[in-house]
Amino acid sequence: MAKRGSSGTEKRDGSLYQKAAFICPLAANTRLMAKILFDTDIIIDFLRGKNAAKKVMLSIEDEDMPCCSVVTVAEIRAGMREAEQAATMSLLESFDILLIDKKIALLAGDLKRKTKQQQLELDDCFIAATALIHQAVLVTHNTKHYPHRELILKQARY
């Protein structure tokens, strides 16, 4: 069963953290590294200097891995201004870029097919599928783009 934490992150009973603490009590004091998948909107807002987006991106824990989808890279490059190229590429190189493979492609297609929202973009389904396959927390300002109940979402409120 899913619960919303005080940080806005959806937490699920039986998490890896809870299982590790049960198996090894010493693990109760150890936090597992999480993959944090930033949605395109957060990265664009960061690049455009929005302080709230900067706070969101800088708020992840040191042991967490900041990631973005290869789809996000394409979306950002498509809308990038020439003068922004150096800063954009520098930021993107700081992320672990998660690629699309057959499992992600199949899941993205299934998510699009099973979701009744007509305005749901296939790009967002690819990002959602990437988060699901990689068991990543998806950080987005636009939670309406991700109606999939299986996702672990953290809404950036600004």
The verdict on 86 and 39 lying in the same domain is: yes
Asked whether the beta carbons of 51 and 43 are under 8 A apart, the reply is: no
Residue 135 is part of a domain; what is its CATH number? Answer: 3.40.50.1010
The verdict on 64 and 77 lying in the same domain is: yes
> What gap in Å lies between CA 153 and CA 113, rounded to an integer?
21
The verdict on 90 and 115 lying in the same domain is: yes
Q: pTM, whole model, 2 decimals?
A: 0.79
> pLDDT digit string (tens) for 53-62?
999 999 999 8
Asked whether the beta carbons of 50 and 158 are under 8 A apart, the reply is: yes
pLDDT of residue 31: 61
Mean residue pLDDT of the chain comes to 85
Considering only residues 2 and 51, tell me which one the structure prediction assigns the higher pLDDT: 51
Q: Which two tokens stand for residue 109?
A: 């297609």
The verdict on 63 and 6 lying in the same domain is: no
- The answer to whether residue 26 scores a pLDDT higher than 60 is no
pLDDT of residue 56: 95
Number of domains in the chain: 2
Q: List the alpha helices (DSSP H) in 48-142.
A: 51-58, 70-79, 85-93, 102-114, 122-133
Q: Please tell me what DSSP assigns to residue 122.
A: H
Look-up of token digits 């498509």:
78
Q: Which domain holds residue 17?
A: 1-32
What contacts 102, CB < 8 A, 6 or more positions away? none
Mean pLDDT value across residues 119-132: 96
> What gap in Å lies between CA 88 and CA 78, rounded to an integer?
12
The verdict on 9 and 63 lying in the same domain is: no
pLDDT of residue 33: 86
Can you tell me whether residue 62 is helix, strand or coil?
A: coil
The verdict on 151 and 104 lying in the same domain is: yes
> pLDDT digit string (tens) for 67-105?
999 999 999 999 999 999 999 999 999 999 999 999 999
The verdict on 72 and 98 lying in the same domain is: yes
